[in-house]
Structure 1
Amino acid sequence: MTLPLGFTSSDAGALPLDLIGRADFAAWRDALPAPTAAWVQAHGFDGSPGSSVLLPGPDGQLMGAAVGIGDPLDPYSYGHAPFALPARTWRTSGRHEPGVRDALRLGWGLGSYRFDRYKSTPRAPAQLLVDNADDEVFAVLAASVRVRDLVNTPTEHMGPAELEQIAREIAQRHGARIEVTTGEELLAQNFPAIHAVGRASHRAPRLIALEWGDAAHPHVALVGKGVCFDTGGLDLKPADGMRWMKKDMGGAAHAIALAELIMARKLPLRITLLVPAVENAVGPDAFRPGEVIATRQGISVEIDNTDAEGRVILCDALTYAGERKPALLLDFATLTGAARIALGPDLPALYSNQDTLAQDWLDAGIVQRDPVWRMPLWRPYLRYLTSHIADIANGGPSKMAGSVTAALYLERFVPADQAWAHLDVYSWNDADRPGRPAGGEAQGLRAVYAMLKSRAAR
C-alpha cells in the first residue's frame, strides 16, 4: 500500500516532534535546556490545543518542534500539525499507545488533505515518519478522503454517470458484482420514484447496485442519497441555497466510501450498496408540485415540494433493500436543513427503529471521536405529511420537526421488522479549521465502520 499524502517511511533528515498537552507542559519545559525553555516561553507556547513551536539548536538551526494537543485520542487534536510545521519529515518522540498512534496518523492525514483537482496547493504538508503503510487507520483515512473528494468535485465532473463509473471501478478492484438500472429502464424495473425526480435532466437517472461478500456472512444494506445537484426543481432554490448543492450527493459518498472500506478490510460481511443517482433539474419534464407519483412499494406520494426530492428517490432504494431482508439496513443522506438547525453542521442526526442498533452507533461515535446524535422517530408527527389524495405527502405546510418528518417518511418504506438506521448528515465544512478544510467532509463514517467491525466480530 502506498503511503498517503503527509507520510513517509524514509527517516532521512527527520527531526523530533513532541506532542504536548497542557497537563504535560510544565514537565516537558523543565526538561529542556535553559535557552530552549526561554525560547518556548518567549513564544508563549504552553501546550494549548492547536498551537505549535519550533525549537532551535545552539547553532541556530532547527532542532525539533512541539505541537499542543487536546484529547490525545481525538484525531483532530493533531490536524493542525501538517501545515503548522515546516514541510519536512518529523518523527514523534517516545512511544505511544496504539490509540494515540492511530489518532495521530488519522489526524495528520486529515490535516494534510487539500482538494487540488483544479488548483495547486501553495505548499506540501509536513511529513510524518511511519514504519508501515499496511495499517487499518490508513484505510479509514482513505475512506474519509474518498468522501471529501466525491463531495468537493463539481457536478460537471460528478454527475450520475461519474458516480456509476466510480462504483464500477471499486467493484472491479474488489471483485464485487454491479448492476446499474438507467433512464426509462427504471420504470420497467419498477423504480418510478427515482425516475420521476431525475427525468428532467439531460443526465439520465439511475440506480447503482453493488453486491459483495460471502452469502454465509451477515448481510448489511447500505443506501446513499445521490442527488448530484439539487436546483430544488420547480420549487427553485434561491441562489444562496443552491450555491453548494454539488454536495447533495454526500449521502452517496458516505455509502460508497463505507462499502469500499468494508471490502478493502475484508470484513466478514455481505454488503449491498444502493445509490439512486439523479440530478434534480428544471425542465419541460420536471416533476411538479401537486403531482402524485408511484413508488416501488405501491405507496402513492403527493409532491408537496419538489425540493424534498431526496426522500423520494430514497424510498424506492429502501424498498428494494428491504426486499433483500438484510440483517441491517443503513442509509445516509444530506436530507434536511432542519437537522442542521437542530444540531449544527458537525453533529449528524441519527434515527433508528432499534434501540440496540442506535446505541451501538452512538457508543462507537464516542470511542472514535466521531459523534452522532440520536433524534426521535416521533410517529405522531406523521400528521405533517398528510395528503388528501395520496397515501402520504413528501412535505407539508408546517415547518415543525422537519428532520423528524423526513425520517418518518423514510420509515414508511422500511419493513416493520427490519433493523434500520438513517443518518442525516451535512457532509460539509463551512470554513477552514485544523484538520477540517472547507468543503466536503466525512461525518459518522469512522463510527459506523467501527460499529460494523465490532458486530462482524461478534
Structure 2
Amino acid sequence: MTYARHSNLVSASDQARPIWKVEGDAALPQAHAAWAKSNGFKGKAGQLLVVPDAHGEVAGAYLGTGKVFDPVSLRSLAARLPQGDWKLVGTASDTEAELAAVAFGLGGYVFDRYKPSKEKPQARLVVDDSVDLEAVHRIVAACALTREMVDTPAQDMGPLQLETIGREIAEENGASFSVITGDDLLEQNYPAVHAVGRAATPARAPRVIEIGWNLDKTDWPLVALVGKGVVFDTGGLDLKGAAGMRNMKKDMGGAAHALSLGRLVMQAGLKLRLVVLVAAVENAVSGDAFRPGDILSTRKGLTIEIGNTDAEGRLILSDILTRAGELEPDLTVDFATLTGAARIALGPELPPLYTTDDDLAQGVAASAKAVSDPLWRMPLWDGYGAALDSEIADVRNDSAAWAQAGSVTAALFLQKFAPQSGSWAHMDVFAWNPRNRPGYAEGGEAQTLRAWFHYLQQSFANRAAR
C-alpha cells in the first residue's frame, strides 16, 4: 500500500493566493462586489467564488461561511479550487487552522491504482505556521490508508494482504507481530474464525493477526483495537443477491480502521500500550462452507447456533474479542462493517457507538465534535437480548424472529464476548461514501478514526492503568 501518496498540504509558498471567509451577506471589497453579484455569491455556507485580478488571472477566492465557519468545508475546496497554492486567511484559532488543514488533506484523496488520474494537478493548501504539519500529515495518511484498503478490490486485498499491511505497520514502528493461519487456528483455539474462513482457497486461508506495542510499559494503560476483516462477503450459503454483494470488498473496513488507527497511535508515540487484533477471512461458498443450523464453538467456550451464514462478522469478532479480554485491557474498541440495520437507523454518514460506559461515551462524543468526525451513541438495550436465545446452543448469530433493531442485537451479541476488564465500545461503521461529491469521492471512507485518536490522545494516554 502507498499510505497516502497524494499530499496537498505544504508549509510555505511564495505564490499562495488567499481564501477569504465571508459571513453571510457581509460586504465585499468594491473591486469584487460586482463580480460577486453577477455570480450569485451571497456568502452562504459552502459557496465558493474565485475572483480575477485586473489581468484576468486568479487573484483569490471567497468562501461563504453562513453564520458560523465550519473548517470541514475546506474538504470540498481541495477539488473545487483552481490548481496552485492557496492560504486560508483569518483563522480564529490554532485549532481551527488545524481542522481546516486536515479537512483539505482529506479532500485530496484519490484512488488511482487501476486508472491513473488524468486530472489537472490539485490545489494545495499552505498550512499556517501554528499547525504541526507532520501531525496533520499522519492523520490524513491514516484516513487515506483506511480508504485505500477499502477501495482495493478483493482480488488484491485478501487475508494475506491484510497480514502484509499489518506486518509492515509493526515493523515500521518497532512493534511485535504474529499471525495464525489456516488449520493452525484450530490448534490455537480460534474455532469461529476458522469456521467462517475455511471455505476459501488455501491461498486465501483465514488468519488472526496480532500487533503489540509498548507492552513492557506495564504502568501505562492498555488499549485493544479489534477489527473485522472479511475481505469479501458472499453471504456464504445464505448467498447475497447481486446488489448486496456488489460492494462487499468493503467488508474488511473494520480491519482497515483498526490497523490505520493503530499505526497512527504508534507514529504519534502516545503513552499507552497497544494491541491490534484482526481476524482476516473470506466468507466464501464451497463444499466446506459452514451451514445454517450448524453449531460453532468459540474461543470463549460458548456455542453459537448459525441462523444465517451472512451474519459472519460477529462470529469472527467473538474469537478475537475473547483474545483481547485475555490481555485485560483498560479499553477495547472494535470496528466492524457489521449491519445494514445501522444504515437504516442512522444513514451512511453517522456510525453508531455502543457502550455501557457513560463517561467513555461522553468523552468520545466530545472528541467527535471537536474534530468534526461524527458518531452517535445507540442504546445497548438488554430488552432485546432474548432475540439471541437459542434452544440448542448458548446463543444464535441472527435475530430472525425480530425484524427490527438489528444493529442493537448485533452489539448485544458482541457484548457476550467483550472483555470484562476496563471499558468496551463497538463501532458499526459503514466505511463508504455512497455518492460522489467534491472532497468525498465515492468509495472507501474513514469514519470515527480521527475521533478515537483525539480521545486517546487527549483523554486516555498517560492515564494510570486501572
Which residue identity lines up with residue 173 of structure 1 in the other structure? E
What aligned pairs does 1:220-239 form with structure 2 within 5 A after superposition? 220-239=223-242
How far apart, CA to CA, are the structure 1 residues paired with 2:39 and 2:205? 58
The correspondence for 1:451, drawn from 437, 443, 455, is 455
The correspondence for 2:32, drawn from 33, 36, 45, is 36
**CA contact under 8 A between 1:206 and 1:276: conserved in structure 2?**
yes
After superposition, give the CA deviation of every residue in 1:394-448 in whole Å (9 maximum; x if it has no partner): 0132222111110111011124454111011111110013322111111111111
The correspondence for 1:91, drawn from 83, 87, 91, is 87
Task: Find out whether 1:267 has 2:270 as its counterpart.
Answer: yes
**CA contact under 8 A between 1:294 and 1:301: conserved in structure 2?**
yes
The correspondence for 1:15, drawn from 17, 22, 37, is 17
The correspondence for 1:334, drawn from 321, 334, 337, is 337
Which residue identity lines up with residue 211 of structure 1 in the other structure? G
The correspondence for 2:125, drawn from 124, 128, 150, is 128
Match of 1:53 in 2: 49
Which residue identity lines up with residue 404 of structure 1 in the other structure? V
Higher deviation after alignment, 213-222 or 193-202:
213-222
Match of 1:117 in 2: 113
Match of 2:198 in 1: 199
How far apart, CA to CA, are the structure 1 residues paired with 2:175 and 2:312? 29
How far apart, CA to CA, are the structure 2 residues paired with 1:403 and 1:2? 32
Match of 1:5 in 2: 7
Displacement of 1:340 in angstroms is 0.6
* SS at structure 1 position matched to 2:189: coil
Displacement of 1:90 in angstroms is 1.4
Displacement of 1:74 in angstroms is 4.1
What aligned pairs does 1:38-437 form with structure 2 within 5 A after superposition? 38-69=34-65, 74-94=70-90, 96-121=92-117, 122-130=119-127, 131=129, 134-202=133-201, 203-213=204-214, 214-397=217-400, 398-437=402-441
Higher deviation after alignment, 326-335 or 360-369:
360-369
How far apart, CA to CA, are the structure 2 residues paired with 1:142 and 1:35? 40
Displacement of 1:157 in angstroms is 0.8
After superposition, give the CA deviation of every residue in 1:330-385 in whole Å (9 maximum; x if it has no partner): 10100000111011111111111221112211121122211211111112212111
Higher deviation after alignment, 388-397 or 2-11:
2-11
Higher deviation after alignment, 87-96 or 227-236:
87-96
Instruction: Give the TM-score of the pair, scaled to structure 1.
Output: 0.95
How far apart, CA to CA, are the structure 2 residues paired with 1:71 and 1:267? 37
After superposition, give the CA deviation of every residue in 1:143-171 in whole Å (9 maximum; x if it has no partner): 11111111111111111100100011111
How far apart, CA to CA, are the structure 2 residues paired with 1:223 and 1:440? 19
| C-alpha RMSD over aligned residues | 1.9
After superposition, give the CA deviation of every residue in 1:112-139 in whole Å (9 maximum; x if it has no partner): 1111111123222211123586432222
Displacement of 1:140 in angstroms is 1.3
How far apart, CA to CA, are the structure 2 residues paired with 1:21 and 1:433? 23
**CA contact under 8 A between 1:71 and 1:77: conserved in structure 2?**
no
After superposition, give the CA deviation of every residue in 1:230-254 in whole Å (9 maximum; x if it has no partner): 0000000000000000000111111
Match of 1:26 in 2: 26
After superposition, give the CA deviation of every residue in 1:267-291 in whole Å (9 maximum; x if it has no partner): 0010000000000000110000000
* SS at structure 1 position matched to 2:438: coil
Displacement of 1:96 in angstroms is 4.1
**CA contact under 8 A between 1:47 and 1:68: conserved in structure 2?**
yes
Higher deviation after alignment, 171-180 or 82-91:
82-91
Structure 2 unmatched ranges of 5 or more: none
How far apart, CA to CA, are the structure 2 residues paired with 1:358 and 1:197? 32
Which residue identity lines up with residue 195 of structure 2 in the other structure? A
**CA contact under 8 A between 1:73 and 1:99: conserved in structure 2?**
no
How far apart, CA to CA, are the structure 2 residues paired with 1:2 and 1:341? 31
Q: Cα–Cα, structure 1 residues 396 and 82, in superposed 2: closer, same or farther, change >3 Å?
A: closer
**CA contact under 8 A between 2:325 and 2:418: conserved in structure 1?**
yes
* SS at structure 1 position matched to 2:461: helix
Which residue identity lines up with residue 26 of structure 2 in the other structure? A
Instruction: Give the TM-score of the pair, scaled to structure 2.
Output: 0.93
Count of residue pairs the alignment pairs up? 452
Displacement of 1:220 in angstroms is 0.4
Q: Cα–Cα, structure 1 residues 95 and 390, in superposed 2: closer, same or farther, change >3 Å?
A: closer
How far apart, CA to CA, are the structure 1 residues paired with 2:222 and 2:252? 24
Which residue identity lines up with residue 388 of structure 1 in the other structure? E
Identity of aligned residues (%): 49
Higher deviation after alignment, 61-70 or 417-426:
61-70
